[in-house]
Amino acid sequence: MKVQLRDPNTIMKLSRLGSFHQSKLSFLRSFLNEFKDWEYKRDLFNLDRFGYGEAVYSFKKDKRTYSLVCFANKIKDDERSDRVIATKWDAAFTLHDGVPTQKDIDRLKNEVPRQEVGRLSFKELTLSRANKSVRVFNHVVERLSEGKQPDLELLSNVGYLYRTTAVYGSGKFGLADRFRIKNREEINGPFRLEMMLVYLVRQFTFDQVNHVAHHKNPSKSVVLDRKICKNLGIGNSTGLGMAPFIVNHPTLLNNWVMSREIALKKIREIKIVKKKDSVLFIDCLKKSLTNITSWNTDSEYQQIKIKNLLKDIKKFIHFIDNNFDFEDEYPFNQIYLWLEEKACEECIEYVVSIMMEPYNEITNPLVSQMSSEEDKYFTIPTNRTIKDLINIIEKKYSNILKINFEKKQNTQNFWFISKNKEEPRLADRFKEGGSELEQPLAIARDVKKLHKKLLDMKNNSTVAEFLSKNSELRHIVRRVFIVEKFPYSEIQDNTIGKNLMPIDMLRLKLSFFGALKFDPRSDKWLRICMFQGAPLPDELKNYDEQWVYRSSN
């Protein structure tokens, strides 16, 4: 039986993309899988009794070493902010390519804590900063120094000691360009070095909290229990900065979603499912309920989604337990069809992720296909005809063409780059100034504009002729030829409409990172948790691959 790939017109809608969950394809999980046999080491830990100073952690294999260089600084409570406007943080980090010399550390000490206004070199690969969850950090220090373990309920509610507020890579602020390192086998997957940074930062937070507690009361203090450590991750606050990325990297977006879609298709095409595989699927499904019930948020929008997810997952488990036989042919296809009919989008995508758990042989080869050589697809095939272009648009953007952009509500917002922080922002076109400097992220509107103009041209004219008179549509012509080859490269929705939920765009990207516990703080930013439940670095050589579903939080 051949199953078709899912229709981009359904999958690439923002409400669906905003319902994606982590899976075996997620970058933090594929990072752990790739680096599990690397040698982990804490090379330097030079903190004072209050936890301020420098530390270095590394992963090493053969002649290659990656080193996380950490700088923990004292800041005042009123200087601590997760917003991008902040200028000081509790800790700042960079991932250095190789073993840093003392000269490197001295150089980095002057630059890394300054983040966006500092300058890095081609020897640095990623850059980040993080703030303490002061309430949790102080509580843990207090309890450990008294010889006790912390209150698990408090830890469970928050899920981390620190949260990062940005992770930069790929040439930002002088960091190494991707082309310098792209041929390294171990980073043949998107954001792998960003994941390494966050993972090592997590270990630093445990070491720091133990260190401070010990110096507070050397005779009585204990270290944080390893099981508790494992159930803590690293938080992250993410704002709009992430949203344009998925629009600006269409072939990359395609490769992420395409990998997920191919995995699902292959799983649905399995005729007979082995007992051990169905057992693993059901085990992950049932244990994952803890992930849903411990998913805390004040966001009404997300609370409704979680409530519906929990309701539908319970309904699905009841169906599996009582009305379903895994010995039937094509069981995962039956499951998928049941979900499409009976479950909400959040639940469909949740179960799709869990379906991948038994199938390393399907997911592992896909992981290496999730990067993209974007430059290969940059050149516009200008010898093609207007007729070709019209055909592609009508085939690939059929839903977009139905949107009426004459209506004010469909062009309500515009994307711009703020002068202060050089970060993307979203504003109301009819209330705020600056729309004349709009970023080219209104793809749906511009596709429709292009289509209208093309209809006035002769069918056999070339794209070159069209562009010579319509240069303002050049960026969108390029995209149309990309979507011709990459069906999942385009969000099939209006990114400037009144009803836009930007957090759907953030959620899509973060789900591929492997984030859990999406906690929208508004429609424009959210908090998440990464690596919660993940093995500690010294456990990597032999760890439970399904740790995500077996965490006790």
Q: Which stretch binds other proteins (CB under 8 A): 87-95, 201-209, 293-301, 459-467?
A: 459-467
179 binds other proteins per the rule CB under 8 A:
yes
98 binds other proteins per the rule CB under 8 A:
no
Give me the amino acid identity at 193: L
Contact predicate 261/512, CB 8 Å: no
Q: How far is the CB of 156 from other proteins (least distance, A)?
A: 40
Q: How far is the CB of 439 from other proteins (least distance, A)?
A: 8
Selected from 440, 461, 521, 536, the binder of other proteins by CB under 8 A is 440
DSSP state letters, 329-392: SSHHHHHHHHHHHHS-HHHHHHHHHHHTTT-HHHHHHHHTTS---GGGG-S--TTSBHHHHHHH
301 binds other proteins per the rule CB under 8 A:
no
Q: Which is nearer to other proteins, 154 or 467 (CB)?
A: 467
Q: Which is nearer to other proteins, 482 or 526 (CB)?
A: 482
The strands making up 64-72's β-sheet, listed across from edge to edge, are 39-47, 53-61, 64-72, 91-97, 124-132, 160-168, 233-238, 526-530, 516-520
Q: How far is the CB of 457 from other proteins (least distance, A)?
A: 15
Q: How far is the CB of 382 from other proteins (least distance, A)?
A: 4
Q: Which of residues 477-496 bind other proteins (CB under 8 A)?
A: 477-478
Selected from 7, 48, 151, 177, the binder of other proteins by CB under 8 A is 177
Phi/psi for 40 (5° steps) reads -95, 140
Q: How far is the CB of 445 from other proteins (least distance, A)?
A: 13
Selected from 80, 172, 429, 521, the binder of other proteins by CB under 8 A is 172
110 binds other proteins per the rule CB under 8 A:
no
Contacts of 48 (CB under 8 A, 6+ apart): none
Phi/psi for 130 (5° steps) reads -150, 155
**Helix (H) or strand (E) run with residue 529 in it:** strand 526-530
Q: Which of 239, 199, 189, 25 is CA-nearest to residue 95?
A: 199
373 binds other proteins per the rule CB under 8 A:
no
Selected from 125, 175, 201, 355, the binder of other proteins by CB under 8 A is 175
Q: Which is nearer to other proteins, 176 or 366 (CB)?
A: 176
468 binds other proteins per the rule CB under 8 A:
yes
378 binds other proteins per the rule CB under 8 A:
yes
Q: How far is the CB of 440 from other proteins (least distance, A)?
A: 4
122 binds other proteins per the rule CB under 8 A:
yes
Tokens 């992981």, located at residue: 367
473 binds other proteins per the rule CB under 8 A:
yes
Number of residues that bind other proteins (CB under 8 A): 32
DSSP state of 532: T
Q: How far is Cα 507 from Cα 14, in angstroms, rounded to an integer? A: 10
Q: Which stretch binds other proteins (CB under 8 A): 2-10, 96-104, 146-154, 475-483?
A: 475-483
Give me the amino acid identity at 129: R
Alpha carbon distances (Å) from 552 to 231, 290, 291, 548: 7, 7, 8, 10
Q: Which is nearer to other proteins, 15 or 468 (CB)?
A: 468
Q: How far is the CB of 149 from other proteins (least distance, A)?
A: 45
Q: Which stretch binds other proteins (CB under 8 A): 68-76, 190-198, 375-383, 397-405?
A: 375-383
Token pair belonging to 537: 């670095």
Alpha carbon distances (Å) from 232 to 155, 301, 534, 551: 8, 25, 8, 10
Q: How far is the CB of 411 from other proteins (least distance, A)?
A: 17
Q: How far is the CB of 20 from other proteins (least distance, A)?
A: 27
Q: Which is nearer to other proteins, 386 or 463 (CB)?
A: 463
**SS3 of residue 3 by DSSP:** coil
Q: Kindly tell me the sign of the dihedral angle through the C-alpha atoms of 349, 351, 354, 358.
A: negative
Q: Which is nearer to other proteins, 124 or 504 (CB)?
A: 124
Q: Which of 354, 237, 205, 206 is CA-nearest to residue 292?
A: 354
Query: Which residues here bind other proteins, judged by CB under 8 A?
Result: 121-122, 170-179, 375, 378-380, 382-383, 417, 440, 463-464, 467-468, 471-478
